[in-house]
Amino acid sequence: MHQVTEAPREQASEGRGGPSGRPFLASGGGAWHPFAAAVSDAACGVDAPLTVISDVGEVETLDARIFLRGPAAMERWEHLAMERCLGRVLDLGAGAGPHTLFLQEAGLRVTAVDRLAEAVSLMVERGVRDARIGEVTEPPPGPWDTVLLLMNGTMPFETIAGFRLGLARIAAVLVEGGRILVDSTDLRGSDGDDRRSDGRYVGETQYQFRYGRLVGDPVPQLFLDPDRLQEYAGEAGLVAEVIWTGKEGHYLAEITRRQHAP
């Protein structure tokens, strides 16, 4: 995750190992329970530091209030994405709904989808008019003019295979000329190497969430480099273009469905 607001990186030092052999903490519950609890507490005004442990042993701590931020706290790339939204919008992996609420206030019709029931309940409490439980790989029937996949929006697809499947399904419910706005992070090295020492694609990672005494199971997450994004978009009959690049490999892309000639 690129939105790091607290605490330096450290190394996880106990528990069982991830695919790379580095340790995760011993878990005691569902993968997303600590995340949901932290965001719910943050919505109630409680200080909620959420710790994220990667499968290479890095530890980052996020202020869970970042998932509740309003337009004034959003970054430049988010405003660029919001400006490019039009028509009927589908926000996949919407979380607590910050982008959905932004677009609702702008007068757009938005449907927000998240896998967590707690997130959907929180969105409703915050004023989201159409919030649903669902997976990014199973978009609701459209047609949709704009689909959002934001906050490192490739992560919920978990694997390259999941992304290719999900993108094909999203393409099927996108209008001709419609667009997908997605951000991700290029984790390749400076030499362009996209493989880890064990042969895995560098962007297929695992994360573990910790909040207080709540420790979740490790969960797969996907970061996708722009070259692969463009390749997989082409497979789905789409065209991808990077429209913004930031620090540490973070980028925003617009993927469009080709319009057939009349």
pLDDT in tens, 6-15: 333 333 434 4
CB 157 within 8 A of CB 136: yes
Residue 28 has pLDDT above 60, yes or no: no
CATH T-level topology, domain 6-257: Rossmann fold (3.40.50)
Q: What is the pTM of this model?
A: 0.89
Question: What order of strands is seen across the sheet that includes strand 144-149?
Answer: 131-133, 109-114, 88-92, 144-149, 174-185, 250-257, 238-245
Bridge partners of residue 209, in order along the sequence:
52
- CA angle, corner 57, sides to 49 and 217, nearest 5? 65
* Structure-derived torsion over alpha carbons of residues 253, 259, 260, 262, reported in degrees to the nearest 10: -160
Q: What is the mean pLDDT of residues 102-113?
A: 98
Q: Give me the chain's average pLDDT, please.
A: 89
CB 62 within 8 A of CB 3: yes
Q: How many CB atoms lie within 10 A of CB 71?
A: 14
Label the pairing between strands 144-149 and 174-185. parallel
In SS3 terms, the chain reads as: CCCCCEEEEEECCCCCECCCCCECCCCCCCCCHHHHHHHHHHHCCCCCEEEEEECCCEEEEEEHHHHHCCHHHCCHHHHHHHHCCCCEEEEECCCCCHHHHHHHHCCCEEEEEECCHHHHHHHHHHCCCCEEECCCCCCCCCCEEEEEECCCCCHHHCCHHHHHHHHHHHHHCEEEEEEEEEEEECCCCCCCCCECCCCCECCEEEEEEEECCEECCCEEEECCCHHHHHHHHHHCCEEEEEEEECHHHEEEEEEEECCCCC
- 61 backbone dihedrals φ, ψ, rounded to 5°: -120, 125
pLDDT tens digit sequence for 84-106: 999 999 999 999 999 999 999 99
pLDDT tens digit sequence for 139-156: 999 899 999 999 999 999
CB 137 within 8 A of CB 163: no
Half-sphere exposure of 112 (CA within 13 A, CB side): 28
Label the pairing between strands 144-149 and 88-92. parallel
Q: What is the mean pLDDT of residues 120-128?
A: 97
Residue 213 in tokens: 């005494």
- 28 backbone dihedrals φ, ψ, rounded to 5°: -145, 25
Structural domain boundaries in the chain? 6-257
Residue 184 has pLDDT above 90, yes or no: yes
